[in-house]
Amino acid sequence: MQFLVQPGSVQDAAVAVPGDKSISHRAVMLGSIATGTTHISGFLNGEDCLATLAAMSAMGVDTEQSDATTVTVHGVGLHGLKPPSSALDMGNSGTAMRLMAGLLSGQAFDSTLVGDESLTGRPMQRIITPLEAMGASIGSRGGRPPLEVKGGLSLRAIHYDLPVASAQVKSAVLLAGLYAGGITSVSEPAVTRDHTERMLAAMGVDVSTGNGRIAVPGGQELQGGTVEVPGDLSSAAFVLLAACISDSADVVINKVGVNPTRTGVIDILRSMGARIELDNAGMRSGEPVADIRVRASQLRGIDVDPSLVSLAIDEFPVLFVAAACADGVTRFSGIGELRVKESDRIGAMAAGLRELGIHVEETQDGAVVHGGRFGGGTVRSFGDHRIAMSLAIAGTVAESAVTVLDTDAVATSFPGFTALFRSLGATIEEAGS
């Protein structure tokens, strides 16, 4: 599929974005190994999270999806999972594969994790190293999927200093720690999203946090409950961008998760001059939630604070487009992790922006983006959902039509993307490639 975008910036509206992907993955996984039933509302009905749901069902967990966003998981307890009859397909999701590797390391049976072409190229040694230090055995293809996880091994607690800030690696180690003897702990060099710790605590697990260290004693049983998944801030970021670069839009995005370990995109956009406000703040299932109001803004180029990188790691494609629309020059540094996401996101965004007439200079761990005007043209997404959506938003303020190629992966995280943006007044269509 491809997106065909005609110029025409968004208009005033109130919208809701799909449920948080990170929280949806965790709710299904943790609900599955909990005792009792977990009721999930606001579930992200995207391909990535459906792959996690299918994987847990393949291991004997009874799940029910009464509608697109409502899921009931009948937990089987910490040691109740059963051997799957075939490899577990994680689709496009690095989150699912890395967390599942930690979870499966403590099981009594062997298992294999596979994924699509993009996921098969992503680095997994970063989880293999600490999990094998705990006593796990994980076969791979040179540190890349498929992952063959050996069962029936005794795991031991470790302390692990994360070499790179990564919520996925942290979570994989903590999930394995539930099956280890002793207290498993992780120290992170920078704050990363803490959805795993919050949900474990909500399910009755003793989790201690402080001074960049997270610790979990092994052998604890989780208790099922209710999980209300808020709107995904990573998805809301595309709406924030579209409104910011519009002529005059005033847009409200309802009930979005604003976990402080995720709000770097808001902080960076505000420092660029974006008019963003948080209203009706509250809590849902242990997660901060608010309505986000964003208005058309005059953005200015900045040097992005590297300390905010781990708080906005998935939103940099959005920020590249914001930088291209800003007055002056924006410098990104310390974002080398983007080169091993679903695509090389630094290279992919630089290529797309250049194709639309923007001057971009790349470095190994960053880029310099010179503000300008988008021309029309055809751009590649490299099969990366966030690249596809970011370049589509650029098309709303381009001087002529923009075609974004290879957009199928958008369904992994933002089902209904084109429909939502048409409701905002954008002219964006899907077409067969």
Q: What residues are annotated to the active site? A: 314
Helix, coil or strand: residue 129: helix
Q: How far apart are CA 344 and CA 300, in angstroms?
A: 26
Helix, coil or strand: residue 94: helix
Helix, coil or strand: residue 168: helix
Q: Give the torsion through C-alpha atoms of 192, 196, 200, 203, to 10 deg.
A: 130
Q: How far apart are CA 278 and CA 405, in angstroms?
A: 34
| Strand residues in 218-286 grouped as ranges (E) | 222-223, 226-228, 250-257, 275-284
Query: Maximum distance among all alpha carbons in the chain?
Result: 61
Helix ranges (DSSP H) in 108-254: 117-120, 125-133, 167-177, 195-202, 233-244
Q: How many CA atoms lie within 13 A of 382 on its CB side?
A: 22
- Strand arrangement, sheet containing 250-257: 13-15, 250-257, 287-295, 275-284
N- to C-terminal Cα distance for the chain? 5
